[in-house]
Amino acid sequence: MATTGTTNKSSTAKKSASSSSKTKSAAKKSSTPVARGNDAVAVLKRDHREVERLFKQYEQAKEDDARKQEIFQQIALELKVHTQVEEEIFYPESREFVKEQDTVNEAEVEHQSAKDLIAQLEGMQPSDDYYDAKVKVLQEMVEHHVEEEEKEYFPECQKSEMDTKAVGERILARKEELMGRMGGGSRAMH
């Protein structure tokens, strides 16, 4: 019986230490500035997460053409507003803080490719040949663009003297205006 009590105490101590270690690890992860606040990077990352969520919904819609059309329209709206605020505000403001101008130039070219594909899709129906394929290619283009921005471009801006807080406030105001004008309401402030 004495050994059972000792084993239980030892086991409980190990679980407690393990739990404490996990809590510290989780706290460390959650304290990283991923997409909190209203600085420019946080605002743009929230947009990225929203579009990723919508692409997942599109994939789950399977054969429901009406639902796929509805979700694509949301994706298109989000991407149009996002690319416009980046091109009008973030890219020009960040140029002087980025070592390689090709970083910004490539991002703008990627935007144009996405806009071209969106325009093609807006002239189609989900039942059309290549519709799903084009949505998938758009998703892959966006995922590639997001990865480059989040791993290279944004961190460079955050480490610089760029006032990401002021830029973020301008982006939020412009998003609100564009969402209202394009028929998306005021989701920009979520």
Smallest CA-to-CA distance from 143 within 41, 56, 34, 33 is with 56
Judged by DSSP in three states, 38 sits in: coil
Q: How far is CA 145 from each of CA 19, 78, 107, 120, 127, rounded to the nearest angstrom?
A: 37, 15, 7, 19, 28
| More reliable by pLDDT, 160 or 1 | 160
How many CA atoms are closer than 13 Å to the CA of 185, on its beta-carbon side?
A: 4
Query: Could you tell me the pTM of the whole model?
Result: 0.78
Judged by DSSP in three states, 149 sits in: helix
Mean pLDDT of 74-91: 98
C-beta of residue 46 within 8 angstroms of C-beta of residue 172: no
Judged by DSSP in three states, 162 sits in: coil
Is residue 42 pLDDT above 80, yes or no?
A: yes
Mean pLDDT of 145-166: 97
pLDDT tens digits, residue range 53-63? Answer: 999 999 999 99
Q: How far is CA 11 from each of CA 7, 14, 15, rounded to the nearest angstrom?
A: 6, 5, 6
Other CB atoms within 10 A of residue 21 CB: 10
- Which tokens in the block code for residue 159? 């480490």
Mean pLDDT of 83-97: 97
Percent of the chain surpassing pLDDT 70? 77
Is residue 86 pLDDT above 50, yes or no?
A: yes
Dihedral, CA of residue 149, residue 86, residue 34 and residue 163, to nearest 10: 110
Q: How far, in Å, CA of 107 to CA of 145, rounded?
A: 7
C-beta of residue 178 within 8 angstroms of C-beta of residue 189: no
Looking up tokens 């091109």, which residue turns up?
Answer: 87
